[in-house]
Amino acid sequence: MSRPAYRQISSLTNPTVKAARALHLRKEREASGQFLAEGLKIAAEAMELGRAPRVLMFGLDAADHPLLRRLAAFTAEQGGEVIEVTRDILEKVSRRDNPQTVVSVFDQHFADLATLDPKSATCWVALQAVRDPGNLGTIVRTADSAGCGGVILVGECCDPFSVEAVRATMGSIFAVPIFKADIPAFTALRKTWPGSVIGTLLTATHDFRAAPFRAPNMILMGNEQQGLPPDLAALCDVNVKIPMRGRADSLNLAVATGIMIYAAT
């Protein structure tokens, strides 16, 4: 069966290619409101949720893949640009020697805090000043896996739409609502929260398994270096600790969040 002919691009100076490469920079992502997603699976996941790429770039190796064909047709139908590119372009756009055969550009989407309905889920995750994009992406994926309502980024956090964060979500970036809240907005949200707000602190004396979980639970996690600051810990109904039995003094943030999410759901 013949395949539809899409525009072919081989020049690194092509404006679409240049704009896609620039999306490695946070300021370019913020200015354009777009982000890069690598791989066919993640773009297909977006398609399942009705989200079409603005730009779909694919290499010759992917051209005959049935899923790529569906995705290309869907992208074109939705007004996106579908282009066949060289391996060199895929390498440069993804900054990898072994690039995926598909790289897409999507519009970013943050959910509006005013629309957050606590009772629509059993568990929500709030992350204070998360710094590591791999942690953030892993947490979004875990929140998706456990059916959480969303992830709330409290204060200055790393960008959930960075290439590293999106990669770590494995597609969950399209499924999990991401909210942003500064400290006053988070404090206001907490005041009207109808369930338990559970903080996590290494200095806490309560074991996490004895936490007074009452849905909708909000789990509040601290920053990787400093942990949860006292003013935010004080907003919680209780602060809990996951026992540290060996020599390590703390768990990785994403691991601790996963344990808390599953304890709360």
Ligand X SMILES: C[S@@+](CC[C@H](N)C(=O)[O-])C[C@H]1O[C@@H](n2cnc3c(N)ncnc32)[C@H](O)[C@@H]1O
Of 37, 158, 221, 264, the residue at the interface with ligand X (CB under 6 A) is 221
d(CA 98, CA 90): 9
Q: Which residue is nearest to ligand X (CB)?
A: 227
**Is 241 among the residues that bind ligand X (CB under 6 A)?**
yes
Considering the complex, state which of residue 195 and residue 227 has its C-beta at the smaller distance from ligand X: 227
Report the relative pairing of strands 102-107 and 123-128 from DSSP bridges: unpaired
**Is 148 among the residues that bind ligand X (CB under 6 A)?**
no
**Is 234 among the residues that bind ligand X (CB under 6 A)?**
no
**Is 222 among the residues that bind ligand X (CB under 6 A)?**
yes
* Angle, helices 253-264/133-145, rounded to nearest 10 degrees: 20
Give the H or E element holding residue 134. Answer: helix 133-145
Tell which positions 14-73 bind ligand X, by CB under 6 A.
none
Piece of 79-87, 136-144, 210-218, 223-231 that binds ligand X (CB under 6 A): 223-231
Of 40, 218, 228, 238, the residue at the interface with ligand X (CB under 6 A) is 228
The torsion of the CA quartet 252, 255, 260, 265, rounded to 10 degrees, works out to 160
Name the 3-class secondary structure at 17.
helix
Name the 3-class secondary structure at 64.
coil
Output the smallest distance, CB 260 to ligand X, in A.
7
Output the smallest distance, CB 249 to ligand X, in A.
7
**Is 238 among the residues that bind ligand X (CB under 6 A)?**
no
Q: Residue 206's beta-bridge partner residues?
A: 240
Output the smallest distance, CB 229 to ligand X, in A.
10
Contacts of 162 (CB under 8 A, 6+ apart): 26, 29, 35, 133
Of 256, 258, 261, 264, the residue at the interface with ligand X (CB under 6 A) is 256
d(CA 230, CA 49): 39
**Is 242 among the residues that bind ligand X (CB under 6 A)?**
yes
Of 200, 218, 238, 264, the residue at the interface with ligand X (CB under 6 A) is 200
**Is 251 among the residues that bind ligand X (CB under 6 A)?**
yes
Give the E-state strand segments of 175-237 in sequence order: 178-181, 197-200, 206-207, 217-221
Output the smallest distance, CB 262 to ligand X, in A.
14
Phi, psi of 240 (to 5 degrees): -125, 160
- Residue 136: CB atoms within 10 Å: 29
**Residues interacting with ligand X, by CB under 6 A?**
200, 202, 221-222, 224-225, 227-228, 241-242, 244, 250-251, 253, 256
